[in-house]
Chain A
Amino acid sequence: MTTADDTQLAMQGTIEALTTGDGSEPVVVNLGPQHPSTHGVFRLKVTLDGEIVQDAEMRIGYLHRSMEKLAEERTYTQNIPFTDRIDYLAAMSNNLAYCLAAEELLGIEVPPRAQAIRVMFAELQRVASHAMANGTFINDCGAWHTPLFYMFRDRERVLDMFEMTCGARLTTNYMRIGGVAFDLPDELLPTLESFLADMPDRIADYEALLMENEILHARARGVGVISPEMAINSSLSGPVLRATGVPWDLRKANPYCGYENYEFDVPVGEQGDCFDRFLVRMAEVKESLKILRQVVDTLPDGPWLADVPLHARPEPGEAYARVESPRGELGFYLVSDGGPAPYRFHCRPPSLINLTALKEMSVGGTLADAIVTLGSIDIVVGEIDR
């Protein structure tokens, strides 16, 4: 909406620029809400001097569904499907984080088989989500969808496994308070075995295609750099933080679901640029496959769901549980007043908080750099807006 004042102001700016300056003024371009590179309804308002970004400001809220309010009216179990819709590219991780918080409130022990299944699906979700993130990142660098389609093949296989386990591909709603909804189907483990057997070759293919790609280096190296000090101060997490060299991974630092029993490593970058984020994700996929291998080998028998009373009312209190989602630290802060529904339901969204430093990363670069930076942060708008 343009009011008369706005117009007058703009006119004044123009006249000022024409009379006092060099006859030029910056251009404001709205990237989004409908734009191929914003991965959803996200709007980035950039002020450009030629191709150079002078200012970047994000406008969000187009997907705001006020889940935190809705969740106050539903029981703890009824809230699980909401968490699918928060980060729809990593529904399993969101299920898991919420269930951990609810279990902490209710004081429920999760049986070992359920723990292992949770780890299995959280890691499969990480493989799928990183495939998507890296594919779209290369797309943002300007490739004509080829790496994206390659990586979608792997993601498809993971989603097929989700489908055969819980019937849904994207919004899984699989985890339950106290375990998981169903036991693994018979055909899952053979499928997973063949997936694990194929993936090393696939990853070698991607590395051959992308790692030494000179154009990719030219586009992503030294772009969107952030220092480790600034990254910690900006509360960045996940691959964006690890690319700066800070080895912070909640699976190691605060192991949940028995992550301490599996052997894996935390890859960290050196320069904190877009290319390091891409490399960290590539390395993390490998580590996830390592974890999956161990989970399959040591999968315990037993119940997959603890005995949870149907009408469980937690004691008044609060719980903050967090997991390392593919995008970073995903936390759920629940407050109970002893009622059947959470008194306060808060999600700590890694996508949103990782965007804090977007302006710092993109100002001074070109418009194309800003797009690449945005792609390397790997946002999911459902999680930003909730």
Chain B
Amino acid sequence: MTATYDATAAMEIVNAHAPGAACVDDGVLFLEPERLVESVQSLRDSGESDLVFLCNLTAVDQELHFEVVYHLQSLDLNHILQIKARVTDREDPAVPSLTGLFYGAHLQEREVYDLFGIRFEGHPDLRRMFLWEGFPGYPLRKDFLQMPGQVRAGLPGFPHESEENAWPVPGSVPQRPMHPNDPQPEGDLVVAEESEESS
């Protein structure tokens, strides 16, 4: 069974090489983006951690900041470590690229750049991958295609789970706030009388 590598031990390894670059929060190792490359290199080259295999590289939009998530695996010692790097600048997010350490980061970083707009500084070929150059916006950001009235993508609740989360039944009041450009309804909105349908 693949063990989870202890984040505290990893923090000690990193801090020995790059003091203060790592901290542990709630069992997760956070690395400082500015010193990411040397921190990860110390984890990769240290015989104790031996994290030589970059399993997975992705990002999460946490509304206030981006989290770039790395899963590093040691094949010989069979343990895995999750590393996160916080990017707070939403306008021009950037983290150093790991392509110098892991060749396998090439395509994964390009994917994150394409869908989140996080620049990986030092990536030799940072272009959009799935979408074309000039595609407006970055689809996996939470504010992509955000509608007015703070309505955003995502599922508020299960269908028919409770009254306030219920999906609109046909004919009922549209829950979506009106866009100023939408044709405005005339008069009061008609609320469908469900009692008649059910009887």
Contact between chain A and chain B defined by CB under 8 Å? yes
Residues of A within 8 A of B126 (CB): none
With contact pairs A72-B153, A248-B75 given, residues A344 and B60 touching in the complex (Cβ less than 8 Å): yes
Considering the chains assembled together, what is the distance between the CA atoms of A341 and B104 in angstroms? 30
Residue of B nearest to A61 (CB): B130
Complex contact B55–A348 (CB within 8 A): yes
Question: Nearest Cβ in chain A — how far from B166, in angstroms?
Answer: 13
Complex contact B139–A61 (CB within 8 A): no
Q: How large is the interface on A (under 10, 10 to 19, 20 to 34, 35 or more residues)?
A: 35 or more
Q: Report how many residues on chain B are interfacial, defined by Cβ distance under 8 Å.
A: 38
Complex contact A73–B153 (CB within 8 A): yes
With contact pairs A68-B115, A341-B154, A356-B107 given, residues A333 and B61 touching in the complex (Cβ less than 8 Å): no
With contact pairs A233-B52, A234-B103, A320-B71 given, residues A68 and B154 touching in the complex (Cβ less than 8 Å): no
Q: Which of B61, B107, B111, B140 has the most CB of A within 10 A?
A: B107
Partner of A340 from the list B71, B103, B161 (CB cut-off 8 Å) is: B161
Contact code string A70-87 (vs B, CB < 8 Å = 1, else 0): 001111000000000000
Considering the chains assembled together, what is the distance between the CA atoms of A335 and B68 in angstroms? 13
Question: Nearest Cβ in chain A — how far from B49, in angstroms?
Answer: 15
Considering the chains assembled together, what is the distance between the CA atoms of A333 and B140 in angstroms? 14
Contact code string B42-59 (vs A, CB < 8 Å = 1, else 0): 000000000011111010
Question: Nearest Cβ in chain A — how far from B26, in angstroms?
Answer: 10
Complex contact B56–A352 (CB within 8 A): no
A49-97: which have CB < 8 Å to B? 60-61, 64, 66, 68-69, 72-75
Question: Nearest Cβ in chain B — how far from A285, in angstroms?
Answer: 24
Q: Indicate if B106 sits at the interface (CB-CB under 8 A).
A: yes
Q: Indicate if A254 sits at the interface (CB-CB under 8 A).
A: yes
Complex contact A236–B56 (CB within 8 A): no
Q: Indicate if B39 sits at the interface (CB-CB under 8 A).
A: no
Partner of A331 from the list B56, B60, B75 (CB cut-off 8 Å) is: B56
Q: Indicate if B169 sits at the interface (CB-CB under 8 A).
A: no
B90-107: which have CB < 8 Å to A? 102-107
Complex contact A232–B153 (CB within 8 A): no
Residue of B nearest to A335 (CB): B60
Q: Indicate if B129 sits at the interface (CB-CB under 8 A).
A: yes
A330-372: which have CB < 8 Å to B? 331, 333, 335, 339-341, 343-344, 346, 348, 352-353, 355-357
With contact pairs A329-B55, A348-B55 given, residues A236 and B104 touching in the complex (Cβ less than 8 Å): yes
Considering the chains assembled together, what is the distance between the CA atoms of A214 and B9 in angstroms? 53
Residues of A within 8 A of B2 (CB): 253-254
Complex contact A232–B115 (CB within 8 A): no
Q: Indicate if A11 sits at the interface (CB-CB under 8 A).
A: no
Which 10 residue pairs across A and B have the least CB separation, nearest first? Answer: A235-B104, A61-B130, A341-B155, A254-B2, A64-B130, A234-B103, A346-B58, A348-B56, A311-B158, A234-B104
List 20 additional contacts besides A72-B155, A253-B78; criterion CB under 8 Å. A61-B130, A61-B132, A73-B153, A232-B53, A233-B102, A233-B104, A235-B55, A235-B103, A254-B2, A255-B1, A310-B158, A311-B158, A320-B55, A331-B71, A335-B60, A344-B61, A346-B56, A348-B55, A348-B56, A356-B104
A-B CB contact pairs (8 Å), 16 listed: A66-B139, A68-B140, A69-B144, A73-B154, A75-B158, A235-B102, A235-B108, A253-B2, A254-B78, A310-B158, A335-B60, A339-B157, A341-B154, A353-B104, A356-B107, A385-B130
Q: A residues touching B (Cβ–Cβ < 8 Å)?
A: 60-61, 64, 66, 68-69, 72-75, 230, 232-236, 246, 248, 253-255, 310-311, 320, 322, 329, 331, 333, 335, 339-341, 343-344, 346, 348, 352-353, 355-357, 385
